[in-house]
A = this chain, B = another copy of it.
Amino acid sequence: MLNGHKERSAPIKRAKRVTISDVSDALGLTKGTVSRALNGYPDISDSTRNRVKRVSEKMGYQPLSHAQAIKTGRTRSLGLVLQFGDHDSHRPFLAEFLSGISHGASRENWTVTVATADSDGDTLNTVLRLLNERKADGFILPRTMTDDPRVHLLRDAAAPFVLYGRTQDATDCAWFDILGEEAMRQAVLRLVKQGHKRIAFVNGGSEYYYSVLRLQGMLQGLKEAGIAPDPDLIATDAVRPEDGAAATRKMLRLTNPPTAFVFAVDMAALGLYRVAADLGLVVGRDLSVIAYDGVPEGAFATPPLTTFSVDSRQAGERLAALLIRRVRGEPVQDLRETAKATLVERGSDGPPTLTSNQLARAVSAHSKLSEYPKGGTK
């Protein structure tokens, strides 16, 4: 398209800023000296450096990032490319996440440039465009996949980036991540403690690395509890309620159904509620479920969903801080942080009231396992 016709228009009359020349004039120095003083060059005496800092601060001088960028190539802005389209399970966290990023950025006087994309290819193109236009000095990559094309792209381009989540090949990767595996482990142990023996695990999107980790954590929990894992009790790729409902339905049809479910994703866990209602089973009593994410929808379910909540705001803030340091040249090894999810104990889990056998009978009593119902009249 190129820029079609006259992008220019009415002149802007904003109050004029103080420029570096204003500062240098006031100090009787050249702008080059002021620049070097402000940017920590060694060939400036301490006395003048301090004088420059003091005066420029007093005058309210703030360098124009795009004026600097013309020479430095850096614009002090973080890039965030959000991909929607498939299943949008990270939407609920977006506000918190953005807020965290924005805070982390503005603390260092950086800004955040966001863009959205529909597909993987679109995402890569958008990243490239932002990079090529120098609209972002580096990128925050949410929802990292086991083998993430964005990582390859940015690694090859030698552009700074930081992952929200870990990935298989850690080369050149800085990250912040929540220890989902630890949460899954604790979920299992909690259910075991409540008396459950048959515990199902419904994992999330298999392309994401978090799935690998959460499964590991779940298996670790079983191991510690001395329970042998049962392949029939492990499902995968459940991120929407429909997916979770399907997985639940399938497992409840087993001759030896699980009395408890661990979901890697809250939204999928909400599907279990539908199935339970369908079968006349009461969640939190006949069926226990613990999930992960802490989406607001879970708090509004009946009973409210017990879940491991992640602090998306903190994640955003840490990611921003890490990325800024990365752009400034720190090695990735120093830029890897993790945090824990926090258990929110609500009403969806508890000691089993039915044995697996009793549950199986209750389920088979319902001749027809209906599909996803419209939601009802009680």
Contacts and interface: CB of A to CB of B under 8 A. Distances in A.
Interface string A83-114: 01000100110110011001101100101111
Contacts of A76: 7
A242 to B, nearest CB: 13
Nearest to A14: B157
Interface string A255-299: 000000000000000100000000000101100000000001100
B82 A98 contact: yes
Q: How many copies does the complex hold?
A: 2
Interface string A56-85: 110001111111011011111100001010
Interface string A5-37: 111111011110100000000000000000000
B111 A15 contact: no
A35 to B, nearest CB: 11
A302 interface: yes
Contact of A12 (B73, B105, B132, B378): B73
Given A66-B134, A74-B12, A375 B303 contact: yes
A301 interface: yes
A123 B209 CA distance: 37
A5 B325 CA distance: 12
Given A39-B8, A303-B377, A95 B99 contact: no
B10 A329 contact: yes
A38 interface: yes
Given A95-B82, A328-B9, A3 B102 contact: no
Nearest to A81: B102
Contacts of A6: 39-40, 328
A13 B131 CA distance: 12
A365 interface: no
Given A10-B329, A64-B70, A347-B377, 12 more contacts: A14-B73, A65-B135, A66-B70, A77-B135, A82-B99, A98-B114, A113-B113, A113-B114, A270-B300, A282-B377, A302-B302, A303-B375
The 3 lowest CB-CB distance pairs between A and B, nearest first, are A66-B66, A9-B329, A6-B40
Interface of A: 1-3, 5-10, 12-15, 17, 38-40, 53, 56-57, 61-67, 69-70, 72-77, 82, 84, 88, 91-92, 94-95, 98-99, 102-103, 105-106, 109, 111-116, 126, 129-135, 157-159, 241, 270, 282, 284-285, 296-297, 300-304, 327-329, 346-347, 374-378
